[in-house]
Every structure is written in C-alpha cells, then in structure tokens.
C-alpha cells in the first residue's frame, strides 16, 4: 500500500476543517433564517393582499406598491430619510 502524498493529506485535512466550519455556522444560519429572513418574506407575501383583519384577505398583487410609489408623501419621506442618512 502506497503512502499518501503530503498534498493529498493537506487537502483532506483542509476539507475536514471546512466541513467543521460549516457545522459551526449552521445554527447561526438557522436562527438568522428563522428570525430575519422568514418574517421578511412573510411580510412581502402579506403586502400582496388587501386585508382589513375582519374579512378574508383579497389578493391584489402589486397594487399596494404601485399606490405607494405614486404618492407624493412617500417620495417626500424618502427624500428626508436620504438627507438624514448622508448628512
């Protein structure tokens, strides 16, 4: 049986370390997904409906976003936010 070369030994060692790194990161990624990504996606899904909490939700698609982006109040607020951010 031939002895493994040093290059192969290093490669398998680094592969094992890389797998361990992913295992250590996994709980953080799961919590990140649970508490940040899922609520963001759910909020976007809910924004596609018109719902007054008394009746059943009505799917209206992107009409809420169209309504938002065509109001002067939104653009005024957005402008003030940008000014505070960059000044």
* Domain co-membership, 56 together with 42: no
3-state secondary structure of 28: helix
- At 6, the pLDDT band (50, 70, 90 cuts) reads low
Residue with structure tokens 């290093």?
A: 10
pLDDT at residue 84, as a whole number: 96
For residues 2 and 42, state if they share a domain: yes
Domain residues for 17? 1-47
Q: Are residues 7 and 39 located together in one domain of the fold?
A: yes
Q: Are residues 1 and 43 in the same domain?
A: yes
Please state, in angstroms and rounded to a whole number, the distance separating the CA atoms of residues 30 and 11.
28
Residue 58 and residue 69 in one domain:
yes
* pLDDT of 15 above 60: yes
């Amino acid at each position: 049986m031939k002895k493994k070369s040093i290059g192969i030994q290093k490669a398998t060692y680094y592969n094992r370390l890389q797998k361990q790194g992913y295992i250590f990161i996994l709980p953080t990624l799961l919590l990140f997904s649970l508490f940040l990504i899922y609520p963001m996606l759910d909020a976007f899904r809910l924004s596609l409906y018109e719902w007054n909490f008394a009746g059943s939700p009505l799917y209206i698609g992107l009409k809420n976003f169209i309504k938002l982006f065509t109001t002067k109040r939104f653009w005024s607020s957005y402008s003030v936010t940008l000014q505070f951010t960059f000044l």
